Amino acid sequence: LDDPLIWEGVPIEAHPAWRELDLDALAHNYQAVLQRAGPGRKVIASLKGNAYGHGVVPVARTLEQLGAYCLATGSPADVVAMRRAGIKMRIMTFATALPAGIKALLELGAAPTVHDRDIAIAVSTAARRPVDVFVKVDSGLGRLGVAIEEAPEFIAWLSALPNIRIEGLYTHLPFLSDGGAGWALARIRRFQALAHTLAGCGLRIPTVQALASQAIACGLPDPGNAVCPGHILYGRVPRPISETEVDSAFRPVLAAVWSRIIHIGLRRAGGAYGVDGAATAARDTLVGILPIGLADGYRPSVAGATAHVVLRGQRIPVIAVSLEYTLIDLTGIAEVKPGEVVAVLGGTRESITLDEVARWQGTQPLDVMIRLGANLPACVREAAFLQDAAGALEPTPE
């Protein structure tokens, strides 16, 4: 906070709430993925959901510098944002388009996913020269993709269409339980058999991928030469494997969400306050206001839970959350003044975790991750290997 923080040309004091992105953690997690996936594996980085809430541009920049093979997103708008920001590397789009939208994806310089015949024909028709595509196979998730038993015939047909170059073959097998790991393993073996069948028919596909975060973290055998991590790149194992080194191998990229108290008021004992005047102050209550709320992806607690923030290394209860404000209970904090810094997530001496926030809000950590700080400026801790003299801890627009 000794550095002046500026957002869109306006000093941060005009709206003192920001999130801290640790791109050094992203670089660390990328290396940890490579270490687990094995030497020579290609990384297709999942940037779904605005890079799991972190912002596609800073994440893509870091991954490009790290030499990742490919970025993957479901959002054409995110492809536009990355290309505008100067990202040159390969971008694959997950299956989201109607056939009528394929031409636009190709014009953005993205390699589309082909998951059925209509999409395949749309790509072949819209392409003016050979274009790379990724074929998605449904190995059992039952969501999107060519059914695995139909894949050999489909791929043979696809490879004969004009202007189609099959760059990749992939499948998605997320799991969250021990039973799920067994299910994924059986499906991975089936997918591996498919890759062998295709190779046996002389169909050489350069990139074959089946493993995402949980499978990489658990060390499931890899049937391909590429992995597609999302969660773990951002520092979370989808289902934490407690008391192993796996969880600590990945560091949170959303390191913290900070705010400063903009106002302190007093609610007198016995008075009726809040919406409908429905809250009674049982004692004189010192109320601090933070300029962060629903609009920034913060949420009220579910019935029976009390959220906390951290001030001076101490946990402080949250009273209420509205569209743009969070009210905190400062009663008993000595000589507290507007301007003091509060951690809504993370912290230094004491730290609020993503799991805690999720529990208070009655939701999943991923849900909190993708929305917390949605509208807030990012104060970016650059990856150490990218840092230049001016780069450290500058808030950068995305």
Ligand X SMILES: Cc1ncc(COP(=O)(O)O)c(C=O)c1O
Query: Which residue, chain included where needed, has tokens 């009674």?
Result: 280
Shortest distance, CB of residue 58 to ligand X, whole angstroms? 18
Q: Which is nearer to ligand X, 42 or 48 (CB)?
A: 48
Residue 228 lies near ligand X (rule: CB under 6 A): yes
Q: Considering beta carbons, is residue 1 or 176 the nearer one to ligand X?
A: 176
Q: What residues numbered 32-61 form the site for ligand X, per CB under 6 A?
A: 46, 48
Q: Considering beta carbons, is residue 228 or 358 the nearer one to ligand X?
A: 228
Q: Which is nearer to ligand X, 41 or 48 (CB)?
A: 48
Tell me the site size for ligand X, rule CB under 6 A.
13
Residue 39, number of CB atoms within 10 A of its CB: 6
Give the DSSP H or E segment for 91: strand 91-93
Rounded Cα distance between 352 and 145, Å, is 39
Secondary structure of residue 184 in the 3-state scheme: helix
- Does position 213 interact with ligand X (CB under 6 A)? The reply is yes
Q: Which of 212, 257, 261, 380 binds ligand X (CB under 6 A)?
A: 212
Does 229 engage in binding with ligand X (CB under 6 A)? Answer: yes
Give the shortest CB-229-to-ligand X separation in angstroms: 5
- For residue 368, give the nearest of 297, 316, 274, 315 by alpha carbon: 297
Nearer to ligand X, 58 or 365 (CB): 365
**Residue 94, both tokens:** 């997950």
Whole-angstrom distance, CA of residue 322 vs CA of residue 315 = 20
Nearest Cα to 46, choosing from 299, 215, 298, 243? 215
Minimum gap (Å) between residue 253 Cβ and ligand X:
13
Integer Cα distance of 44 and 113 in angstroms: 13
Quote the least distance from Cβ 236 to ligand X, whole Å: 8
Q: Which is closer to ligand X, CB of 18 or CB of 175?
A: 175
- Cβ closest to ligand X, residue 229 vs residue 252: 229
What are the residues whose beta carbons fall under 8 Å from the beta carbon of 365, sequence distance 6 or more? Answer: 236, 354, 355, 357, 358
Q: How far is the CB of 10 from ligand X (least distance, A)?
A: 34
Q: Does 231 bind ligand X (CB under 6 A)?
A: yes
Task: Report 147-176 residues binding ligand X (CB under 6 A).
Answer: 172, 174
Which of 100, 205, 228 lies closest to 151, judged by CA? 205
Yes or no: say if 241 and 247 are a contact pair by the CB < 8 Å rule: yes
Strands 326-329 and 285-290: antiparallel
Residue 46 or 124 having the CB closest to ligand X: 46
Look at residue 372 and give its three-state secondary structure: coil
Regarding 365 and contact with ligand X (CB under 6 A), the answer is no
Nearer to ligand X, 16 or 230 (CB): 230
Quick count: other Cβ atoms within 10 Å of Cβ 302? 12
Kind plus residue range of the DSSP H or E element containing 341: strand 341-345
Please say whether the beta carbons of 188 and 215 come within 8 A.
Answer: yes
CB under 6 A: which stretch of 208-216, 258-266, 286-294, 307-315 binds ligand X? 208-216
The reply on whether position 361 binds ligand X by CB under 6 A is: no
User: Which stretch in 25-33, 209-217, 251-259, 382-390 sits in contact with ligand X by CB under 6 A?
Assistant: 209-217
Q: Are 214 and 228 in contact (CB under 8 A)?
A: no
Which span sits near ligand X by CB under 6 A: 115-123, 223-231, 254-262, 271-279? Answer: 223-231
Closest approach of ligand X to the CB of residue 138, in Å = 11
Using CB under 6 A, list all residues that contact ligand X: 46, 48, 94, 172, 174, 212-214, 228-231, 238
